[in-house]
């Protein structure tokens, strides 16, 4: 695991974007795995800037996202589908037909998980972007999710509902469930770039980099992956 510690969020975002842009430059047909949350927004802004200034093209990429809230349609402004369109897809030349997220409003969630797993099996990620939850979750794989899990329905923990409520009008509006790629789906990526920022991530980052490899801290599984780059700012790295 390569760990890059940056002065601040801006530098973290720039460095992490370089990793993704490099993958696309080497392989214009790459499969890109994306994440939501506040942490990767700067990374996406750097990709947009590079696209506009240097012309890096996403015309032929295929994208897969980690997760989606259950019950929110793609046009709901808190859905991850909406997040991806407004923070990235609408600003680059990606073919939106080639962008994929689990569908949280699907009538049968079990079939939706099966569909998404088949999609991931046939499109292994060349690079997977990750953030980290303050309890060490990746995607929506909460503590004690088995390492061999694939896309599944998740009951969100109180901790995650509370963390994510800052983006909703009230905590009652936060969905209680989500569909998430499993840990096995994440680990199949050829490379992984993780962004972490802020003091509230420091404990999780310490566990991920230096702690025991255990489902109790899902991100610790990344120690077993051969090509992980963790880019974190000084605050997130403060316990390393
Ligand atoms: C959510 C997402 C995760 C993300 C985490 C941290 O729970 N499902 O993929 O890593 O939030 O988000 P943030 O970057 O906003 O702290």
CB neighbour list of residue 107: distance below 8 Å, 6 or more residues apart: none
Burial 67-105 (b: 16+ CB within 10 A, else e): bbbbebeeeeeebbbbbbbebbbebbebeeebbbbbbbb
Per-residue pLDDT tens listing for the chain (240 residues)? 999 999 999 999 999 999 999 999 999 999 999 999 999 999 999 999 999 999 999 999 999 999 999 999 999 999 999 999 999 999 999 999 999 999 999 999 999 999 999 999 999 999 999 999 999 999 999 999 999 999 999 999 998 999 899 989 999 999 999 999 999 999 999 999 999 999 999 999 999 999 999 999 999 999 999 999 999 999 999 999
Is the C-beta atom of 68 inside 6 A of ligand 1? no
Is 217 domain-assigned?
A: yes
Instruction: Quote the domain boundaries for residue 149.
Output: 2-233
Question: Of 204, 209, 238, nearest to 225 (Cα)?
Answer: 209
Instruction: Return the residue whose CA atom lies nearest to atom 11 of ligand 1.
Output: 37
Ligand 1 center from residue 199 Cα (angstroms) = 15
Domain-embedded: residue 240 = no
Q: Phi-psi category of 91—alpha, beta or left, where left has phi over 0 and alpha has psi -120 to 50?
A: alpha
As for how many domains the chain has, the answer is 1
CATH number at 40 reads 3.40.50.1360
Task: For residue 34, tell me if it sits in a domain.
Answer: yes
pTM above threshold 0.95: yes
Is 142 annotated in the active site? yes
Ligand 1 atom nearest to 130, measured from its CA? 10
Answer whether residue 238 is part of any domain. Answer: no
- Catalytic, 135? Answer yes
- The answer as to whether 171 is a domain residue is yes
184 in a structural domain: yes
Establish if 140 belongs to a structural domain: yes
Please enumerate, as own/partner, the contacts of 171-178 that have beta carbons within 8 Å and a separation of 24 or more.
173/78, 175/69, 175/70, 175/71, 175/72, 175/104, 176/70, 177/69, 177/70, 177/71, 177/153, 178/67, 178/68, 178/69, 178/70, 178/104, 178/140, 178/153, 178/154
Please report whether residue 239 resides in a domain. no
């Amino acid at each position: 695991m390569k760990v890059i510690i940056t002065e601040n969020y801006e530098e973290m975002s720039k460095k992490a974007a370089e990793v993704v842009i490099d993958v696309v430059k080497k392989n214009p047909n790459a499969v890109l795995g994306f994440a939501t949350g506040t942490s990767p927004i700067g990374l996406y802004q750097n990709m947009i800037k590079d696209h506009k200034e240097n012309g890096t093209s996403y015309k032929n990429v295929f994208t897969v996202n980690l997760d989606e809230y259950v019950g929110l349609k793609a046009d709901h402004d808190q859905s991850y589908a909406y997040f991806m369109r407004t923070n990235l897809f609408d600003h680059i030349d990606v073919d939106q037909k080639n962008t994929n997220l689990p569908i949280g409003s699907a009538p049968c969630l079990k079939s939706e998980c099966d569909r998404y797993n088949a999609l991931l099996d046939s499109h292994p990620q060349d690079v997977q972007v990750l953030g980290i939850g303050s309890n060490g979750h990746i995607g929506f794989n909460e503590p004690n999710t088995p390492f061999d899990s694939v896309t599944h329905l998740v009951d969100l923990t109180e901790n995650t509902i509370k963390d994510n409520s800052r983006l909703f009008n009230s905590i009652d509006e936060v969905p209680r469930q989500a569909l998430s790629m499993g840990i096995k789906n994440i680990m199949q990526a050829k490379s992984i770039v993780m962004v972490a920022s802020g003091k509230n991530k420091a404990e999780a980052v310490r566990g991920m980099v230096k702690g025991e490899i255990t489902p109790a801290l899902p991100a610790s599984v990344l120690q077993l992956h051969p090509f992980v780059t963790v880019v974190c700012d000084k605050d997130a790295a403060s316990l390393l």
